[in-house]
Amino acid sequence: MNPLAIQSNEAINKAAPAAFALLSNTAQRLFFPKGILSQSAEAKDRAHKFNATIGTATEAGGPMYLQAAGRYFAELSPAEIFPYAPPAGRPGLREAWRKKMVQDNPGLKGKAYSLPIVTSAITHGLSLVGQLFLNPDDRVIAPDKIWGNYKLTFETVLEARIETFAMFDAQGGFNLDGFQVAVREEGRRSGKVIALLNFPNNPTGYTPTVEEAQSIVEILKAEAALGTKILSLSDDSYFGLFYENSTKESLFAQLADAHPNILAVKLDGATKEYYAWGFRTGFLTFGHVAGEPLFAGLEQKVKGAIRAGISNCCHASQTVTEKMLKDPDLSRQWQEKFEIMKTRALEVKRVLDQPEMVKVLKYYPFNSGYFMCLKLEGVDAETLRLHLLDKYGVGAISIGSSDLRVAFSCIETQDIAELFSLIRQGVLDLKA
């Protein structure tokens, strides 16, 4: 094993043995090499005469670049676009995101959480977390309503297994009993629980209530108290889009200092929250009572994984995200779009709660995010999806045999009634 890997393993183990126990075999081998990047960093400070270290090109004291590309970035300087960004991201952006995170999650105040590491959006963050904490055959506990891509990352590539429990109870709330049983069983089986918490949820658009969120935290704390090592993974892709009757904080805020046996991870980003999908700018943040000594070791591991996979993330979009976060008009602009999304969500409910709709279309609870999900009875979801496309030119996503996901994020409010009336008609056609 590389001596640098041994060094950070020892640092992590000393700071938080439970966090060390959660590391995968890959993570234990991972390290951030003292190669070109660290030699260049040293030269940046000390090579006053000539700096011939890094594999970029310079002229006249700035990056060399082609105007054919540069002309599209009228308000950014070449230095904010063309050079490599540091492997963990632009320092100013990392600080700005940390500030935003604590503003949005007052429960984080005074707790130990790391400086966010920049990822190439949340998909990349999930893949990094998988590399760090999953060995083949490890299990990830998740509700039975999940974003399909988790399977590709965790199961197909990393050979772990996603173990699901029914997401909703009979009353239409988050199935706390089901979650507790899944956590307990996995704790007894392996001594290690990896809990995937994605709220607002894709595909249902559900976020737990304040009380449910508290109970989820209590369930994990109780399991941790029995000695089980727990990784809580908050996928907060749709954070902030909370429309009614839900917690408005990430569960990460409560889990960050919940117990020494709990290592909390938060994945979030500009992609959904700030409608900048193509920027590929996201963040990975750790929370644990051990604080900086642990975070420093873990950051070396994450940087090693980033360096191995993509080297570093797009610089131009990091710069724009940083400037956006510092824009005094940002919160007004964000609120404006939030109101549009909320109006659409409430319109979906108004339409679906009308008597002629209730008879044909049932839906899972939703209160947040981009999506809602129909719970079909008596028709197959994929058959309905194809029928809606063929006969009515309506596109939706079928999930399994009974769920149809509708993204109200891309349907104007005035079109929502017509959309659902066509879906209703499609169901009636197939039943006839």
Ligand X SMILES: Cc1ncc(COP(=O)(O)O)c(C=O)c1O
Query: Cα-flanking dihedrals φ and ψ of residue 207, to 5°?
Result: -125, 135
Residue 200, preceding peptide bond in cis (omega within 30° of 0): yes
Q: Does 321 bind ligand X (CB under 6 A)?
A: no
Question: Tell me, what DSSP letter sits at residue 168?
Answer: B
Minimum distance from residue 239 beta carbon to ligand X (Å): 11
Quote the strand ranges of 292-370, DSSP E: 362-363
Q: Does 122 bind ligand X (CB under 6 A)?
A: yes
Looking at 271, 367, 368, 398, which residue binds ligand X (CB under 6 A)? 271
Q: Which residues does residue 371 pair with via DSSP β-bridges, in sequence order?
A: 407
Q: How far apart are CA 289 and CA 301, in angstroms?
A: 19
Q: Which residue has the tokens 């009353």?
A: 171
Minimum distance from residue 235 beta carbon to ligand X (Å): 5
Q: Which is nearer to ligand X, 117 or 357 (CB)?
A: 117
Q: Which residues does residue 232 pair with via DSSP β-bridges, in sequence order?
A: 195, 264
Q: What is the DSSP string of 330-348?
A: HHHHHHHHHHHHHHHHHHH
Q: Does 367 bind ligand X (CB under 6 A)?
A: no
Q: How far apart are CA 56 and CA 263, in angstroms?
A: 38
Q: Does 250 bind ligand X (CB under 6 A)?
A: no
Minimum distance from residue 123 beta carbon to ligand X (Å): 3
Q: Does 121 bind ligand X (CB under 6 A)?
A: yes
Using CB under 6 A as the criterion, what x/- string covers residues 124-153 for binding ligand X? Answer: -----------------------x------
Q: Which is nearer to ligand X, 223 or 235 (CB)?
A: 235
CA distances from 405 to 81, 166, 271, 409 (A): 38, 17, 20, 12
**H or E element in which residue 99 lies:** helix 91-104
Minimum distance from residue 3 beta carbon to ligand X (Å): 34
Looking at 114, 127, 198, 368, which residue binds ligand X (CB under 6 A)? 198
CB atoms near residue 187 (< 10 Å): 21
Looking at 9, 114, 123, 180, which residue binds ligand X (CB under 6 A)? 123
Q: Does 269 bind ligand X (CB under 6 A)?
A: yes
Span interacting with ligand X, options 94-102, 120-128, 286-294, 312-320, rule CB under 6 A: 120-128
Span interacting with ligand X, options 11-19, 118-126, 160-168, 412-420, rule CB under 6 A: 118-126
Residues near ligand X (CB under 6 A) are: 121-123, 147, 198, 202, 235, 237, 269, 271, 277, 282
